[in-house]
Amino acid sequence: MPTPRRVVIVAFPGAELLDVTGPAEVFSVATRVTGPDGAGYRVQMATADGGELVTSGGMRLMSDLTLEEVDGRVDTLLVAGAITQDGQRVEAVVDRTVSDWLRRGEPRPRRIGSICAGAHLLADAGLLEGLRATTHWLTAAQLAADHPEVDVDPDPIFIRSGRVWTCAGVTSGMDMALAMVAEDHGQAVALATARMMVMYMKRSGGQSQFSVPLSVQAPPDDPVEAVCRWIAEHPREDLSTEALAARMHLSARHFSRLFGRRTGSTPASYVETARLEAARRLLEESDLSLPEIAAASGLGSVKTLHRSFQRQLGTTPAEYRRRFR
């Protein structure tokens, strides 16, 4: 009988429930898909002290073993994450017991990954130094500030840098786990797993986690938020900095400064991302041709459409449509 691959998911008090159970279920279903003659997975959860773990939502899980009991061969080690929020302040939790254990480097798995804000623990343990990595977009700035040695990209669903994998917020851990299944057993098994789980789509790592309307969370009467809504709803309009500033009755310079403080982006960059998102939706949901999509999204030409997709998503519009339609 083939030996199942051992997956250990490391968690700590307050970890996100789906960070643990989402990938675990993907590996479990993949094991059923491969059948008794296939080398599936054996999934375990490890915590500092073992026993009962209370997750962020209050639900309780039972550990299979303590961190010190994680010995022998481990194929895949995943680290769950947690985020705290106090008013407008959002912060990733770094459990020092876990990061210190990771820093010691035993065992050394074939691959290691983080789910959501778990990337902060990998970085704290020195495992992301010099690597490109992602995390939940809400804490990406914190990761970049705390660990300038890490090349933080807040956009992709997941990133693989050699044996180290990182992924975005919560449900993207399932996408990353599916990609790992595809690496281990091929695309057919991964797609069959996604189908059994009734997942809407199997997203590649290149798909963006960042939704433009989510970038500004503010009361509805906030003037910058109103401009951002107008941008999303009118991508074909004149969205130059001067035109947007005029809508707020401000000089272009004052508007750019206010917009940057509020969104962390320049108006031009925000507009391009909004138009790109409009193009993505049209590629996913319509039969419009590429010239029609370029016009409807405000990008203007197919050449500009291609350039935006290559720069921000690392793919072409046609390939994006083929994957995510």
What b/e readout covers 274-299, taking b as 16+ CB neighbours within 10 angstroms?
bbbbbbbebbeeeeeebeebbbbbbb
Q: Tens digits of per-residue pLDDT, 124-163?
A: 999 999 999 999 988 999 999 999 999 998 888 899 999 9
Dihedral over alpha carbons 290, 293, 297, 299 (to 10 degrees): 20
Q: Tens digits of per-residue pLDDT, 4-43?
A: 999 999 999 999 999 999 999 999 999 999 998 888 999 9
Note the pLDDT of residue 177: 95
Note the pLDDT of residue 191: 82
Which residue segment(s) compose the domain that 58 sits in? 5-196
Same domain assignment for residues 38 and 101 = yes
For helices 187-196 and 17-34, give the axis angle rounded to 10 degrees: 120
Same domain assignment for residues 92 and 170 = yes
Q: Is residue 202 part of a domain?
A: no
**Tokens linked to 53:** 């773990």
Same domain assignment for residues 65 and 160 = yes
Total domain count for the chain?
2
Q: Tens digits of per-residue pLDDT, 189-247?
A: 888 898 899 874 445 555 555 455 444 444 545 788 889 889 989 999 999 999 999 99
Q: Where are the beta strands (DSSP E) in 83-175?
A: 83-86, 89-92, 111-114, 132-133, 151-152, 158-161, 164-167
Same domain assignment for residues 135 and 222 = no
Q: Is residue 201 part of a domain?
A: no
End-of-domain residue from the set 171, 196, 221: 196
Q: Tens digits of per-residue pLDDT, 272-296?
A: 989 998 998 899 889 999 999 999 9
Report how far residue 206's alpha carbon sits from residue 201's, in angstroms, rounded to the nearest whole number. 14
Q: Tens digits of per-residue pLDDT, 168-178?
A: 988 999 999 99
Same domain assignment for residues 179 and 102 = yes
Q: Are 305 and 293 in contact (CB under 8 A)?
A: yes
CA 29, 32, 34, 38 dihedral sign is positive
Same domain assignment for residues 245 and 162 = no
What single DSSP character describes residue 156?
Answer: B
Q: Is residue 259 part of a domain?
A: yes
SS3 content of the chain, % helix, strand, coil (to 5): 45, 15, 40
